[in-house]
Structure 1
């Protein structure tokens, strides 16, 4: 009997459920298959370093061999260590990693439809079955690509499925952030809040990190959109403390942006712009251009609300952001939002034809479930047509605003849009429609 090398008694679970398969099961099956293909008995494979009973335990999945034992068995079976571990050869693993790299690059470069296709093709590769971490990376990439293409429902479905698996701590945070964001963009504010709160309340959650601060910022936006200003103010302080403790770029940007949002929501407009501009300056100097463009759009939108006299400065920021977003992996929603804010800037400037052009461009880019933003786009187009004296088109766009808002649950954002719709109806001389919209705004605000 040979010398028995050290071993481990537990294997990593690859799939959840009653029929879960462990890494040990799959490694053992591959060793057994290769041994039989080579025409060897367990004793012949084991001799002289191992015992035949030990090889039997490995093949049955009852023992997880150490790296040294695996390397020895790979030599004896004349196959690669990669095959025994993952079920793929070294060449196949190289092809998979190369394909994943191309998909990531396409997403980073803004080629979102190509990225979506590449991720989907990679997931169809049966060789990913035993590569849990790589498969999860691929599914997460597909979710981000689907989100960028405007398919928020598909993105949410993939992310929910990933939440049900065992994930590395950093990936758990990434999935929670993305799912909270997708739900918020889909106007599913209760679901977005539940995702953020449940993750942050977990007893086994990781310590505060850049990712968790980003999750906190996403959750904070959902609180604000839902009108829960008290909870937003309380939670903002917690996120700010965490960001100060970390002191990293990502956390610092998030902290300043959180402070800006809360300051505006409590009526401190100039203070909010100061925080927002600081966040943009830090992000622009150090961070990815996609995130810089997103913040640039948000700062410009805040400027239009707080400092409408600076409309030309805001418009230039939006034009620059649109150019930046076109060169990154920004999704349809980011680009649609930029067009909507450009429409708002043009209305303030009195350029109504340009406002209509940007509003309709935003509508063309809009994901079907971004109902609040779609309603805002139609509202701006309605106002522009009304200012030009085209009452028929203005009323048609205003009817579309009501159609998009009707199915939405009550929230602060929806109340604000109903109020703006009421003002527009009043301007167009639609007294009955104006009264109805005012009543809807009050109901959404809980009054």
Structure 2
């Protein structure tokens, strides 16, 4: 049924409940034939006529338009506000439950805008809980509906990000490129720069480094032209990723520092926490002599992630990075603790972070002479990487695994891992 059909049906239902004829409802301002056309859905009443009919029927205008009373609308908006607040505060499971409960409310069915807002919130909360496949399903459903241009860009950005985190780089690139292709003749906006920055990260992880370098320069120019905090952060953050991937560690650190300086002034806690991990990672790779201060920063960052709405994947990354810093400073017990915690936060197998955590555990145990445990952890990397599509990140992990196997004396395992790395790289 169309919106006009639903409005007409509500007017007809309330009129009959009030014991009024069409002529009685119409008199004296309207004709009974006009009321008949409205009730049959053949005419769409103007806002003034709707307000008049609501007064004559002694019901709320909200009910005639949306099928819910003003009180019910207030309850829905309040529930949606609580769900958003839970997500912003890092209570991701609570947020997911609240969004899902609201979607089960029959009163939401006719409120297309609020229902779409609730579904998008559920997708974000589901992503934050680490359920990427389910988040992708919700976003794909939303993408098929009529949306505002701004919301379509938001959906594309989150969908691109979820595909990227799932190592599905082909889909991530397709989503980003399709959306940007439709906006090639429009000026850059904050939203488009953020979407493009997500696409840029997917280029890097897919191994399209030449395209990534070119696109990073384009985004930096766009951000400088816009001069807005959001665009500057997005462009510099991902330019840092490109520089890091191409071995320009000091340049990567410089871009990350610029992004962080702006983010701290204007950003949300979730974004600040995520960028802080990136900045500390870049600093550690560029200046390994500063490992102790980086480790201290990572310890604080882990706490920061627990207190914000970062996803399980983000929290896993913070623990694995801290584990690496603890390993570099010789604090092996703490390194093991954080590597295990990080591994527990990602889905079982099929995630690069799980492989990174196990490889690090293998190196830690190898460093203390526990070769059996070291070999077991390194061998288990295979289980984490095998389900993943071929891309740059799994290729790098297979190569690192091969090197570690060589150090542990597992020549056959090292050969297989090198072969896997070549296959992931398309060689």
- Is the pair's TM-score, using the shorter chain for normalization, greater than 0.5? yes
Q: 2:219 aligns to what?
A: 239
Deviations 1:390-414 (A, max 9, x none): 1121111112101111122221111
Q: 1:425 aligns to what?
A: 405
Among 318, 332, 338, the residue aligned to 1:352: 332
Please give the alpha-carbon distance, in whole angstroms, between the structure 2 residues aligned to 1:59 and 1:246: 50
Instruction: Confirm or deny that 1:157 pairs with 2:145.
Output: no
Q: CA deviation at 1:281?
A: 1.4
Among 143, 147, 153, the residue aligned to 2:127: 147
Q: CA deviation at 1:203?
A: 5.6
Secondary structure class of the residue paired with 2:167: coil
Please give the alpha-carbon distance, in whole angstroms, between the structure 1 residues aligned to 2:188 and 2:6: 36
CA contact (8 A) 1:199 1:205 kept: no
Deviations 1:341-362 (A, max 9, x none): 1111122222222211110010
Deviations 1:309-345 (A, max 9, x none): 2212221221222121111111211111100111111
Please give the alpha-carbon distance, in whole angstroms, between the structure 1 residues aligned to 2:397 and 2:55: 69
CA contact (8 A) 1:253 1:279 kept: yes
Secondary structure class of the residue paired with 1:122: helix
Q: 1:228 aligns to what?
A: 208
Please give the alpha-carbon distance, in whole angstroms, between the structure 2 residues aligned to 1:305 and 1:443: 27
Instruction: Confirm or deny that 1:85 pairs with 2:58.
Output: no
Deviations 1:1-55 (A, max 9, x none): xxxxxxxxxxxxxxxxxxxx32212111111111111122222211211122221
Please give the alpha-carbon distance, in whole angstroms, between the structure 1 residues aligned to 2:394 and 2:344: 21
Q: CA deviation at 1:70?
A: 0.6
Q: CA deviation at 1:61?
A: 1.7
Normalising by structure 2, we get a TM-score of 0.96
Q: 1:309 aligns to what?
A: 289
Q: 1:213 aligns to what?
A: 193
Please give the alpha-carbon distance, in whole angstroms, between the structure 2 residues aligned to 1:432 and 1:303: 35
Q: CA deviation at 1:206?
A: 6.6
In the TM superposition, what are the counterparts of 1:265-414 in structure 2 within 5 Å? 265-368=245-348, 371-414=351-394
Please give the alpha-carbon distance, in whole angstroms, between the structure 2 residues aligned to 1:84 and 1:147: 36
Please give the alpha-carbon distance, in whole angstroms, between the structure 1 residues aligned to 2:108 and 2:313: 31
Instruction: Confirm or deny that 1:251 pairs with 2:236.
Output: no
After superposition, the Cα gap between the structure-2 partners of 1:310 and 1:166, relative to the gap in structure 1 and judged at 3 Å, is same
Q: CA deviation at 1:144?
A: 0.9
CA contact (8 A) 2:242 2:252 kept: yes
Among 50, 54, 58, the residue aligned to 2:34: 54
Please give the alpha-carbon distance, in whole angstroms, between the structure 2 residues aligned to 1:291 and 1:367: 23
In the TM superposition, what are the counterparts of 1:60-209 in structure 2 within 5 Å? 60-202=40-182, 207-209=187-189
CA contact (8 A) 1:185 1:370 kept: no
CA contact (8 A) 2:349 2:383 kept: no
Q: CA deviation at 1:308?
A: 1.7
Deviations 1:221-280 (A, max 9, x none): 111001011221222233223222221111011122232222223332211111111111
Aligned length: 427
Please give the alpha-carbon distance, in whole angstroms, between the structure 2 residues aligned to 1:141 and 1:206: 28
Please give the alpha-carbon distance, in whole angstroms, between the structure 2 residues aligned to 1:206 and 1:32: 46
Please give the alpha-carbon distance, in whole angstroms, between the structure 1 residues aligned to 2:269 and 2:149: 26
Normalising by structure 1, we get a TM-score of 0.92
Secondary structure class of the residue paired with 1:64: coil
After superposition, the Cα gap between the structure-2 partners of 1:204 and 1:295, relative to the gap in structure 1 and judged at 3 Å, is closer
Deviations 1:148-206 (A, max 9, x none): 11111111111111001111222111111111111111111111111111111126997
CA contact (8 A) 1:240 1:258 kept: no
Deviations 1:102-159 (A, max 9, x none): 1111111111111111111111100001100000111111111111111111111111
Please give the alpha-carbon distance, in whole angstroms, between the structure 1 residues aligned to 2:400 and 2:169: 21
Give unpaired runs (5+ residues) of structure 1: 1-20
Please give the alpha-carbon distance, in whole angstroms, between the structure 1 residues aligned to 2:365 and 2:155: 42
CA contact (8 A) 2:392 2:425 kept: yes
Please give the alpha-carbon distance, in whole angstroms, between the structure 2 residues aligned to 1:368 and 1:51: 67
CA contact (8 A) 1:260 1:273 kept: yes
Secondary structure class of the residue paired with 1:65: coil
